[in-house]
Amino acid sequence: MFFLRRTETRRTAMSQAAQSTPDEQPLFSMGFLLRTMAVIAVLAVLTVAISIAGRWFGRHISLAGNTDSTSEITLTIGRDTVKLPENAIRFPSQRHEGAAERVDLYLAWPDMRGYGKDNHLRFDDVAQSSGLIFLQIAQSTMSRDMSGRLEPIYSHLIEGPSEAFRDRLTLHRLRADAGYGDEVLLTAPVKGEPDYVVRCILPSTPDKAASGDCQRDIKVGKDLSVLYRFSSNHLDDWEHIDAAIRTFVEARLMNRSATGP
């Protein structure tokens, strides 16, 4: 009996000790820790991806269709092949090699360079766009360029007396029914060459000049027509602009044939 009581007493004490001892199970299970680490890893990957994508997206938004790549693209337009720097091609859809109906360019004047990190404001800021020259190169659809059309076409559309303008230019007003709106014709003699001819919408004051309110076209290569537009604020440079554009295109012709008359 004494032994049974002693045994019972011991069992009761052990039971009470077990009830009073706190549960020594780990606070976080291994499965929970693994799931937490996986979530942290995914969030880290997403953070890096968002950072990279943000930089890429931000760069492309800031470029707004421009590129500072100077890689050359070879285009065949009609009977001519021309190699042009990518950053001089205005529209992204035209920056691919092969046959093309036309290509549109923009160049900073007077250095005749395309978009770059050092001159990007001249392309991005509308207020500075008057410092750009816009070109469109296409296969010629007319036998004569603008200078060649002076005598057979434009001379019959001029009305009223001619006026001395500036920088050796002469201003001619066009008939209202000629279809040229507010444009006027400006001409200048060129030694050993046909007269220089350009059409312009002249602003009332120089500060109201648009980035492309003067336009002229010339023939280059075998069969290319180069239509270019520039601000009337640069009319004092008309001779240099004309020569620079011809040189720019001819230097990039792969066939390098002499420009026709």
pLDDT in tens, 137-175: 999 999 999 999 999 999 999 999 999 999 999 999 999
pLDDT at 126: 85
Min mean pLDDT across 38-47, 74-83, 90-99, 126-135 is at: 38-47
- pLDDT(79) > 90: yes
Task: Give the whole-angstrom CA distance, residue 28 versus residue 23.
Answer: 13
Task: Give the whole-angstrom CA distance, residue 38 versus residue 205.
Answer: 67
Q: Which residues of 126-165 are buried (b: 16+ CB within 10 A; e: fewer)?
A: eeebbbbbbbbbbbbeeebbbbbbbeeebeeebeeeeeeb
- pLDDT(16) > 70: no
